[in-house]
Amino acid sequence: MPINVRLDVLLAERKMRLNELAERVGITVPNLSVLKTGKAKAIKFSTLEAICQALNCEPGDLLHFEPDGRDSESSDG
């Protein structure tokens, strides 16, 4: 998947543990762990907002797009 979640980097920069973030955001540690490991297929805007508030960051700090080359070829013709 070309969207990478940088939650581990942000947590390390802020010297915060996953369980502390879970407590602040009101999300279970297992659900945050799925996001942190990049296994999540979706994220609610309300969850993204809560994480950004807790970590004092922007959504772009948390999510990073890395093209994998598959979408670079157009199928228009």
Work out the angle at residue 22's Cα, subtended by the Cα atoms of residues 35 and 36, and round it to the nearest 5 degrees. Answer: 20
Beta bridge partners of 4: 64
Q: Where are the domains of the chain?
A: 3-65
- Name every residue whose Cβ is closer than 8 Å to that of residue 64 and which is 6 or more positions away in sequence: 3, 4, 5, 6
At 41 the pLDDT is 93
* Average pLDDT value over all residues in the chain: 89
Angle in degrees, CA 67, 54, 37, rounded to 5: 40
Tens of pLDDT, residues 5-58: 999 999 999 999 999 999 999 999 999 999 999 899 999 999 999 999 999 999
Q: In the chain, which ranges are E strands?
A: 3-5, 63-65
CATH fold of the domain at 3-65: 434 Repressor (Amino-terminal Domain) (1.10.260)
